[in-house]
Structure 1
Amino acid sequence: MISQLPKWVEFGAFILALVAGYVNAIGLLGFEHQSVSHLSGTATLLGAGVYQGSLQNASHLVGVLLSFLAGASIAGFLLHGFTLKLGRHYDTALVIEALLLLVALAFLYNEQFVGHFFASAACGLQ
């Protein structure tokens, strides 16, 4: 067992946590002030939206949930393991995450809600 992580792993974990916080701010400042990374709140809003009969909000929230699931599925396909091992496709996952975030940025900059889906997929991938 490793008693102390190498510095590059600690630095990488810090950067990933920082990026996740930035991405989550996208959702908190946008539609319904919901998180795009912690989906229990999104699922709660979905239930409330269905109860209130707001089909438009409910469909948007379903899109956020499914986008997160799609990102997590891509990560599972690329990394397929529970432990950190060199040689896995971590670089591919990070490149896909960066591309998803750039697409989210472009959509949200133009005030198009679809950007939330790409941001949520990036969080699921991470």
Structure 2
Amino acid sequence: MISRLPKWVELGAFVLALVAGVVNAIALLGFENQAVSHLSGTATLLGTHLTNPSSALLHLVLLLVSFVAGSAVAGALLHGATLKLGRHYDTALLLEAVLLLVALGLLYFGSYHGHYFASAACGLQNALATTYSGAIVRTTHMTGIFTDLGIMLGARWRGEPFDRRKAQLFLLIISGFIGGGALGAWLFREYHFMALLLPIGVCLGLAFLYRVYLVEQRFDSTE
């Protein structure tokens, strides 16, 4: 049951959703209105360009490939589909920060290649969110979260028990993503692409905190 998971799961999911919301807002405002935290719109745009090929076709393909490549990196690091202490979550977060830093540098100097690194960072983060006791959790897009929440409400109306903690987790992710979008929009107006420094710093901070937590847990287990 999800109720057995540590409380930091909710906090981590909220912060990661906030990061994704910030990055995606900056993308929408600064990357020619191109989202990078999810692929539904990008895949649709790719389909429309197939009927009328243009220079944007290759760009869209590379965005998709970059997202998948980021996810593949996380898959190679984490070796599984369930939450488990000791996996390389800190390494994945450090790599996400590096990808966002490269994206920032490229975009700051006017190179659209930064889009691909930002997309890879989101793909990597999305693969970090795993299957938590039957709850498929994703932090870079909300379609599945809203769908699962609706399924839970429908099951409750049918008389099935309602998992309050799972619902709380979903609502935290939704609020984090929306709040991140608002924060990202404000930061972009004030600092343009330098706004990416916030999600970079958050990823580095999460990696550090996870490492400290891991060391403490191992120390406690030896006592």
TM-score by length of 2: 0.53
Larger radius of gyration: 2
Summarize deviations over 1:42-64 as a string: whole Å, max 9, x none: 0111121222221x101111110
Who is 2:119 aligned against?
Answer: 120
What is the percent sequence identity of the aligned residues? 70
1:51-70 mapped onto 2 (5 Å cutoff):
51-54=51-54, 56-70=55-69
- Other structure's SS at 2:35 match: coil
1:1-126 mapped onto 2 (5 Å cutoff):
1-3=1-3, 5-54=5-54, 56-126=55-125
Q: Is the 1:26–1:116 Cα contact (8 Å) retained in structure 2?
A: no
- The amino acid across from 2:90 in the alignment is D
Question: Deviation of residue 4 (structure 1)?
Answer: 5.7
Distance in 1, matches of 2:33 and 2:70, equals 21
CA RMSD of aligned residues (A): 1.4
Q: Is the 1:71–1:122 Cα contact (8 Å) retained in structure 2?
A: yes
TM-score by length of 1: 0.91
Question: Deviation of residue 100 (structure 1)?
Answer: 0.3
Distance in 2, matches of 1:84 and 1:8, equals 12
Distance in 1, matches of 2:117 and 2:12, equals 22
Gaps of 5+ in 1: none
Distance in 2, matches of 1:123 and 1:112, equals 19
Summarize deviations over 1:24-75 as a string: whole Å, max 9, x none: 1232123441211210110111121222221x10111111000000000001
Distance in 2, matches of 1:116 and 1:14, equals 24
Gaps of 5+ in 2: 126-223
- The amino acid across from 2:87 in the alignment is R
Summarize deviations over 1:61-109 as a string: whole Å, max 9, x none: 1110000000000011101211110111001000000000111111111
- The amino acid across from 1:85 in the alignment is K
Distance in 2, matches of 1:83 and 1:5, equals 11
Task: Figure out how many residues of one structure are paired with residues of the other and give that number.
Answer: 125
Question: Deviation of residue 123 (structure 1)?
Answer: 0.5
Give the number of the structure with larger relative contact order, counting CA–CA contacts within 8 Å between residues 6 or more apart.
2
Who is 2:188 aligned against?
Answer: none
Deviant stretches of 4+, over 6 Å: none
Distance in 2, matches of 1:51 and 1:22, equals 33
